[in-house]
């Protein structure tokens, strides 16, 4: 854990050779108050053994490893934007080594979410489907809008991501739906509509609709449409770079400093609760 008067947050990054992993490596390098102390990847990755900064041509002195214990050694926090099965393995290692965790992974089952909540009794965890500061401010705006537009407005959530994304709707879109449903006193599991085809009948005004687009290199676009009679309100967030997720993750790392247990999200990190 932290040395006395050590100003640096010692960070390990999971999936260090991936697109998001490399963005996180660069964010840590440029932060001034964070130090890269570990880099993880799967054993089958050709990046294992390489310097974590090799892809950018800027050596970090930290080699990518598939050994969880070695990667977490000397680290205070692991940042994980991998896949659910990988994150769950990392979760157990973090509990065993008393390393806090920032989770940006999406697509968890209810059972996996319950395991994360249980682990938060032993370590401190920030989990959010989107680490972007702007997205989380947008979530707060959606909460306010939903309360004001609770009757007479149909709600649709449209999201677009790159062709490589494996889950749909996006975790961010689902979080938007949860925030809106909570504000309206509804259960998203009961009112969500994820697809329409054929003769669907008239729209049920109590539903929240989702539409998904996948293609190209779209980083992440989300629009929530409140469609009323004679007007519509659209609240949109568009990401042009993964850098915003990386910077939000570092804010989560700083938030966890000094915390030993608990499950938090970006509303806690940003003071939006």
Q: What are phi and psi of 264, to 5 degrees?
A: -125, 165
Residue 3 pLDDT exceeds 80: no
Residue 1, pLDDT score: 42
Whether 102 contacts 249, CB under 8 Å: yes
Q: Is 248 helix (H, G, I), strand (E, B) or coil?
A: helix
pLDDT per residue as tens digits for the range 49-84: 999 999 888 999 999 999 999 999 999 999 999 999
Handedness of CA 86, 163, 132, 145 (dihedral sign): negative
What DSSP letter does each residue of 169-213 carry, written as one string?
Answer: S-HHHHHHHHHHHHHHT--HHHHEE----S---SPPTT-EEEEEE
What DSSP letter does each residue of 114-166 carry, written as one string?
Answer: HHHHHHTTTSEEEE-S---HHHHHHHHHHHHHHHHT-SS-EEEEEEEE-TT--
Residue 250 pLDDT exceeds 50: yes
Q: In whole angstroms, how far apart are CA 101 and each of 10, 73, 271?
A: 12, 14, 19
Whether 170 contacts 220, CB under 8 Å: yes
> Which domains does the chain show, CATH number per domain?
9-127+242-270 (3.40.50.720), 133-239 (3.30.360.10)
CA terminus-to-terminus distance, the chain: 28
pLDDT per residue as tens digits for the range 80-138: 999 999 999 999 999 999 999 999 998 899 999 999 999 999 999 999 988 999 999 99
**What is residue 3's DSSP assignment?**
P
Residue 6 banded pLDDT, cuts 50, 70, 90? low
Dist. CA 180–CA 182, nearest whole Å: 5
Residue 231 banded pLDDT, cuts 50, 70, 90? very high
> How many Å separate Cα 210 from the centre of its chain?
19
> How many Å separate Cα 77 from the centre of its chain?
15
**Which two three-digit tokens encode residue 144?**
């306010």
Q: Which residues are the active-site residues?
A: 161, 165
Dist. CA 129–CA 252, nearest whole Å: 13
Whether 233 contacts 145, CB under 8 Å: yes
pTM of the model: 0.84
Whether 234 contacts 224, CB under 8 Å: yes
């Amino acid at each position: 854990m932290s040395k006395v008067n050590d100003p640096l947050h010692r960070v390990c990054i999971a999936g260090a050779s991936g697109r998001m992993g490399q963005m996180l490596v660069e964010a840590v390098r440029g932060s001034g108050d964070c130090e890269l102390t570990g880099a993880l990847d799967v054993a089958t990755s050709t990046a294992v053994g390489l310097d974590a900064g090799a892809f950018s041509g800027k050596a970090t002195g930290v080699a990518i490893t598939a050994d969880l214990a070695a990667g977490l050694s000397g680290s205070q926090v692991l940042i994980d934007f991998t896949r659910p099965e990988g994150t769950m393995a990392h979760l157990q290692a973090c509990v065993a080594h008393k390393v806090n965790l920032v989770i940006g992974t999406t697509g968890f089952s209810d059972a996996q979410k319950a395991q994360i909540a249980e682990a938060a009794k032993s370590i401190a965890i920030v989990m959010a489907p989107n680490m972007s500061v702007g997205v989380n401010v947008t979530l707060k705006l959606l909460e306010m809008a939903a309360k004001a537009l609770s009757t007479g407005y149909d709600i649709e959530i449209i999201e677009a991501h790159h062709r490589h994304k494996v889950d749909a709707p996006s975790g961010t879109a689902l979080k938007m739906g949860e925030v809106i449903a909570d504000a309206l006193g509804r259960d998203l599991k009961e009112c969500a509509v994820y697809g329409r085809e054929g003769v669907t009948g008239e729209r049920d005004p109590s539903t929240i609709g989702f539409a998904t687009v996948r293609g190209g290199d779209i980083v992440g676009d989300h629009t929530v449409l409140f469609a009323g009679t004679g007007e519509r309100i659209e609240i949109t967030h568009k990401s042009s770079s993964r850098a915003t997720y990386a910077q939000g993750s570092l804010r989560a790392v700083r938030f966890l400093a000094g915390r030993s247990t608990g499950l938090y999200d970006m509303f806690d990190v940003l003071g939006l609760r």
